[in-house]
Structure 1
Amino acid sequence: MSTASRLPGIVTTDHVFRLPLDHTTPEGEHIEVYAREVVAAGRESDDLPWLLFLQGGPGGKAGRPLGRDGWLVRALDDYRVLLLDQRGTGRSTPATRQTLARRGTPRAQADYLAHFRADSIVRDAELIRRRLLGDDGRWSLLGQSFGGFCTLTYLSIAPESLREAFVTGGLAGLHSSAEDVYRAAYPRVIRKNEAHYARYPDDVAAVRRIAAHLAGSPAELPDGGLLTVEAFQALGTLLGGASGSDTLHYLLEEAWVEGVSGAELSDTFLAEAQAKLSFAQGPLYAVLHESIYGQRTVDPAGTGWAAERVREEFPAFDAAAALDSGAPVLFTGEMIYPWMFETDPALRPLRETARLLAERTDWPDLYDPARLAANEVPVMAAIYHDDMYVDTAASLETAGAVRGLRFWITNEWEHDGLRVSGGKVLDRLIAMARGEF
């Protein structure tokens, strides 16, 4: 039974759908997928078009609205919105170290998680669409980041179900291998580091001091995790957001206190670092991250910890060498490394499962270039200039490969522009779809 709630300016309704784990065997095991319907207060009975929101990730649940806030400010003018907790996340049947342990061996866990990529998410959405709108109903689509990757998969699998599609920071390279992705990403991360240190020059010394301390004595985090130099560098994932550089700077400001034996890393710093680094609330992000690029015709040998391999081509990220030479210690970005499954308690039980997924070689292709070249669905995309998470050059190439796709390239916003712009990014894309730009 659906449950409705009222929040400031909106009415939400809960939906839970029982769907096949493997869409090729619909009579087999089933999972639950949760979605939250959101409509403007007073418009509950209006015949509004539906807008399905596909969240970034992988492994991220949809945002929890506190009212008519964020991009919903604009969306609810025109749409009835469906916020999908993609399979394995949020209130959908969870996939975590606790629940996956019930499946037994790492091999069984890896085989289960092979059904949690964009193709399965899109097929979930198709069954949900039929149940909410009927077989012939069509809805609009908004894909943020990984949700944009899913949008390209949707356009490849079931474009006839879409009225229009909006993509924000999520035009994936159709033919990019995992190695291609990271080979393009590391130079962007270097530029974000340079921008951070130009903005906060004193952070060069602050970061070197912390890195030197951790090199000699990794710190235990409150949850039992380990803050090594490499884990400390991983805080650079913050640098891709609008306020990420500032957040990182303020974190560094409170790194030290004077203890009984002298200077030591503060509990405040360690707790905040843990909050930024732990995958306890989203383990699928780490476990499945490289697999979102896996396509058998592109990566026939599998993804194989591509971020770790490619990192060796960029010695600027070698913290030990930087400490020896007096150079700035660089932060890394949106990369997942094998050591994370040792230092993070939420990931340790999934270490072998992650290895098996990294070695998997039979990932189905996610995109149909021929179908995208013949696309008839109006597609509007925001491409962020020098996006740290998604390569701008690859996005532009994909934009040219999808028939009829119109894009807006901007340096006004970072990768999180949809979330932080108060509806301005979405408003621009809707205006483009209406022919106002």
Structure 2
Amino acid sequence: MTSYRQPGVILTDHRFSVPLDHANPSGERIELYGREVVDPSKAGEDLPWLVYLEGGPGFGARRFTGRQAWLDRALREFRVLLLDQRGTGLSTPLNRQTLPLVGAPREQADHLALFRSDSIVRDCETIRHQLTGGAPWTVLGQSFGGFCAVRYLSAAPEGLATVLITGGLPSLHATADDVYRAAYPRIERKVAAHYARYPGDADRARRIVRHLAEHRPELPNGYRLTPEAFQSLGILLGGSEGSHQLHHLLENAFVRTPGGAELSDAFQEAVAAQLSFAGHPLYALVHEAAYAQDDRPTAWAAERVRAEFPQFDPERSPDGGTPPLFTGETIHPWHFTSDPALRPLRETADLLAARTDWPALYDPARLAANEVPVAAAVYHDDMYVDTAHSLETARAIRGLRTWVTDEYEHDGVRASGPRVLDRLLGLARGEI
């Protein structure tokens, strides 16, 4: 273990060995990375642990500097573990470069099926016994991390002292089709709100779509920017500053050249950075699989369901009265032809989309008998996680307390500083 300091914190790197398949503990093993964070004045104390599960799937734990966001509140009483879930961050990586080590696409798909919330919870239980000596710990789950937390309550509640969930109460029963059928109307509302805030962006978006339909440019990183890829920039609209970020991106789209108007280098670089999955390919590969828990394939659900909402059709004429619609947290087959970080994995993704042997993730009976203190922040019109689904699940988990708010978007636990975490701790402890 290596320890070092940042302002106001002591950090310690941890590496853990866990089974790739927990059903076969003597088989192949993978490495997990976690960063311990503690207040220097409490470093020698026997503090309770809080493990943070990042959203995604496919993102490593956020890299804080010092005591940013919610971390300052947590360090007042916890020793925190920022865990890079399997396949992410500094844990054994999964990407176009490493997956060929697993084998052909069929073997890759079988491998990736072990990177859902059920395996992540088994990882957490292995780590917990090593770090706490068997004492239960508190879990803070953001977005997909909340999905993992609900799986934890279903599979191993004995490991939990408290569960805190922010923007991440999943439906216990909804299929991927159900998830996206609820998502597209929310996305449309977010796009309408963006155009109301920045009316000039409607014409900017029309002009960009016309240009892309005619030229289909390749960005500096090799990304093929099509109209539907441009639409996917709407994923920004689910964050607290996302509408402003999208506006600043669009306002810098074109530059005059001797050959006429062209997409500016600055715009192309910014779009390439925003759209590339090079840093988080697992997000694209197992996103729909995160919802699968029956014998039906996900079968590219977001792409199929979009056909029920023709207003999102990227081939719709951008010259009409209605400005182009952006999309949100949706993964499509074209991602695996547009993005050079994903192109070699298209067959693997198709095999995952066709898979039919997904085990159940949640245990409604066990959740109905829950005894672990649970509190959840539910954002009133969360673009990424359906509010109605979240509230239905909240009612299904015994003793869960909710805070429903429109003060924050999906990233409220980060954007609010200490406030969201502080309120959830108060709710879980019955202080509010």
The TM-score bracket by the shorter chain reads over 0.9
Please say if 1:306 is aligned against 2:301.
yes
| TM-score with structure 1 setting the length | 0.98
Separation of aligned partners in 1, 2:4 and 2:217: 44
Judge which range, 231-240 or 94-103, deviates more: 94-103
- The 1-side partners of 2:313 and 2:355 are apart by 29
Structure 2: which amino acid aligns with 1:11? I
Superposition pairs of residues 164-203 of structure 1, within 5 angstroms: 164-203=162-201
2:108 aligned partner? 109
Return the alpha-carbon distance in structure 2 between the equivalents of residues 37 and 268 of structure 1: 37
Amino acid paired to 1:189: I
Q: CA deviation at 1:56?
A: 0.2
CA contact (8 A) 2:206 2:319 kept: no
SS at match of 2:398: coil
**Mapped partners of 1:18, 1:384: distance in 2:** 36
Shift of 1:324: 4.7
Cα deviation for residue 433 of structure 1 reads 2.0
Partner of 2:77: 78
Match of 1:364 among 338, 359, 373: 359
Counterpart of 1:341 in structure 2 is 336
| Counterpart pick for 1:283 among 281, 296, 300 | 281
In 2, Cα distance between equivalents of 1:363 and 1:401: 22
Letter in 1 for 2:87: G
* Residue 137 of structure 2, aligned match among 116, 136, 139: 139
Encode CA deviations 1:331-387: one digit per residue, 9 max, x unaligned.
000000000000000000110000000000001111001000000000000000010
Query: What residue is the counterpart of 1:233 in the other structure?
Result: 231
Structure 2 counterpart SS, 1:301:
coil
- Residues in 2 aligned to 1:23 and 1:321: alpha-carbon distance in whole angstroms: 48
Partner of 1:295: 293
In the aligned structure 2, how far is the partner of 1:119 from the partner of 1:161?
14
SS in 2 for 1:78: coil
Distance in 1 between residues matched to 2:119 and 2:313, nearest whole Å: 38
Distance 1:44 1:433 in 2: 25
Pick one of 242, 245, 248 that aligns with 1:247: 245
1:321 CA displacement: 2.1
Q: Which amino acid in 2 is paired with 1:260?
A: P
Q: What residue in structure 2 maps to residue 93 of structure 1? A: 92
Is the Cα contact below 8 Å between 2:373 and 2:429 reproduced in 1?
Answer: no
> Could you say what secondary structure the match of 1:173 adopts?
coil
Distance 1:220 1:106 in 2: 27
Whole-angstrom distance in 2 between the partners of 1:331 and 1:323: 12
Amino acid at match of 1:360: R
Task: Name 2:129's counterpart in structure 1.
Answer: 130
Give 4+ residue runs of structure 1 displaced > 3 Å after superposition. none
- Tell me by how many angstroms 1:219 deviates: 1.3
Q: Distance in 2 between matches of 1:28 and 1:134?
A: 25
Distance 1:377 1:421 in 2: 25
Does residue 391 of structure 1 match 2:389?
A: no
Q: d(CA) in 2 for partners of 1:326 and 1:409?
A: 36
Aligned residues: 432
Aligned residue for 1:118?
117
Counterpart of 1:28, as a letter, is: G
What letter matches 2:373 in structure 1?
P
> 2 CA distance for matches of 1:75 and 1:302?
40
1:4 paired residue number:
3
The 2-side partners of 1:165 and 1:40 are apart by: 22
RMSD, aligned CA = 0.8
Identity %: 63
Report which stretch shifted further, 392-401 or 62-71.
62-71
**Aligned with 2:220 (options 219, 222, 225):** 222
Aligned to 1:60: 59
Distance 2:264 2:384 in 1: 30
DSSP-derived class of the 2:316 partner: helix
Cα pair 1:192 1:388 within 8 Å, conserved = yes
The match for 1:19 is 18
Structure 2 CA distance for aligned equivalents of residues 140 and 224 of structure 1: 43
Which of 328, 347, 352 is matched with 1:352 structurally?
Answer: 347
Deviation at 1:436, TM superposition (A): 2.2
Amino acid at match of 1:407: T
What is the DSSP-based 3-state SS (H/G/I as helix, E as strand, rest coil) of the residue aligned with 2:164? strand
In 2, the alpha carbon distance for the partners of 1:196 and 1:322 equals 20
Question: What is the match of residue 28 of structure 2?
Answer: 29
TM-score by length of 2: 0.99
Cα distance in structure 1, aligned partners of 2:303 and 2:319? 22
Secondary structure of 2:97's aligned partner = helix
Contact kept, 8 Å, 1:316 with 1:322, in 2: the verdict is no
1:325 deviates by 2.9
1:111 and 1:409 map into 2 onto residues whose CA distance is 38
Determine the C-alpha separation between the residues in 2 that align with 1:244 and 1:261.
Answer: 33
Following superposition of structure 1 onto structure 2, how do residues 392-407 of structure 1 map, counting pairs within 5 Å? 392-407=387-402
C-alpha deviation, 1:232, in angstroms: 0.2
Alpha-carbon displacement from aligned partner over 1:99-118 (angstroms, at most 9, x marks no partner): 00222200011111111000
Q: CA deviation at 1:431?
A: 1.4
Aligned to 1:265: 263
Unpaired segments ≥5 residues, structure 2: none
Q: 1:374, 1:403 within 8 Å by CA — same for their partners in 2?
A: yes
Instruction: Give the match for residue 374 of structure 2.
Output: 379
Name the amino acid aligned to 2:76.
Answer: D
Quick one: distance in 1 between partners of 2:351 and 2:315?
A: 30
Structure-2 separation of matches of 1:74 and 1:26: 37
Is contact 1:322–1:328 with CA below 8 Å preserved after alignment?
no
Q: Secondary structure at the match of 2:47?
A: coil
SS in 2 for 1:325: coil
Task: Decide which moves more: 72-81 or 182-191.
Answer: 72-81
1: distance between equivalents of 2:351 and 2:127?
Answer: 31
Find the aligned partners of 2:246 and 2:39 in 1 and give their Cα distance: 36
Q: Which amino acid aligns with 2:280?
A: G
Cα deviation, residue 322, structure 1: 4.2
